[in-house]
Amino acid sequence: MRLLSQKNSSQAEHIFAAVAQVLGQAPLAFWGAELLSGQDEGALGWITINYVLGLLVKYSFSGEWIRPPEGTLVGALDMGGASTQITFVPRGPIRDESAQASFRLYGFEHRVYTHSYPCFGRDQMLNRLLARLVQSSPAPRVRHPCYHSGYVDSLSLAPLYESPCVQAAPPPDFPPSLPVEGTGNPGACVSAIRELFNFPSCHGREDCAFNGVYQPPVRGQFYAFSNFYHTFHFLNLTAGQPLATVNATVWEFCQKPWKLVEAAWPEQQPWLRDHCASGLYILTLLLEGYGFSEETWSSIAFRKQAGGADIGWTLGYMLNLTNMIPAEAPAQWRAESHAVWVASVVFAALTLAAILTVAAAQLLWPRD
């Protein structure tokens, strides 16, 4: 929706108005529909993780609410289709106020570093990568190093250049479709992916990620979810394997002939061809972008859930919107166990999501 707002703001406004009209007629305390910023999405995902893990506040043996050490809080690595976010509590002050989100939860102030990178989500990264390869291709057939050897297809170019993330102009007199051939070359694939980043803009700076964006050095444990998890789950790399094993597994997969890949995972079409690029992109982003190393790689856990709840921004949004995490520490411990409390909040979030889905279906369903 953020990309649609960037590309066609009036269309995005019409969608929000239609959603507000439908939900406004429902027996709900509807407060309005708005576009969530990328930074808010990252910060709310951070709240979700640390809330369901029970890390925001502790009840001591002496009968007092205590603030857990900041080093025990878990950072959030989120990757959707259009953008990717990183959120964590750094060591020391955050020197860029625009990259800081502040919360008062259970009587304690939390200041986190958070940044969202538009157009660096999985789908838009793939679009930008293909557009760059089209621009640099001297022949009518594009040789894609991230597609498996033996893969051949004809891809439509019109949707590619409709994306606001693709800055390059289409080639003159470009055909509606273009033959694409996979070469299965992970080294060339990594080189092409690196061109999507501006790493020189951060050369010599420890507090910079890429594209000149300020970022303190990473600290503590992290949960990587959404497309981080989905890609590594497909590659069977969510069990805490060391970096050397992860890197070797991704490269080995990229070098498999397309016939073998297609036969082994027939149910994965049409995303099967993109897992190689996604795996190498994640490694490039985490290591060269965010600054993780072989020593800190073990601090990343690729997870779909935390504390029995799916990870995402929606639960954090519900908690923040309804003040279910009080600003001040409660006078006494809640009667329910943490698992029951989390389950109740998750149920409320899922109920709201179901209502929104039904409302959208009624709005978009073709009428006679």
User: Which residues sit in the known binding site for ATP?
Assistant: 81-85
Report the length, in residues, of the chain.
368
Q: What is the 3-state secondary structure (H, E, C) of 242-265?
A: CHHHHHHHHHHHHCCCHHHHHHHC
> Angle 128-216-206 (CA atoms, 0-180°, nearest 5)?
85
Question: Which segments are annotated as binding site?
Answer: 81-85
| Known catalytic membership, residue 288 | no
Cα–Cα distance measured from residue 319 to residue 325, given in angstroms and rounded to the nearest whole number: 6
- Whether 318 and 352 have beta carbons less than 8 Å apart is answered as yes
Name the catalytic one among 13, 41, 252, 336: 41
Q: What distance in Å separates the CA atoms of residue 262 and residue 183, rounded to the nearest whole number?
A: 15
- Whether 165 contacts 82, CB under 8 Å: yes
- Side-chain half-sphere of 282: how many Cα atoms within 13 Å? 31
For 104-121, the DSSP string reads EETTEEEEEEEEEEET-S
The three-class DSSP label of residue 279 is helix
Query: The tokens of 146 are what?
Result: 């991230």
Residues with catalytic function:
41
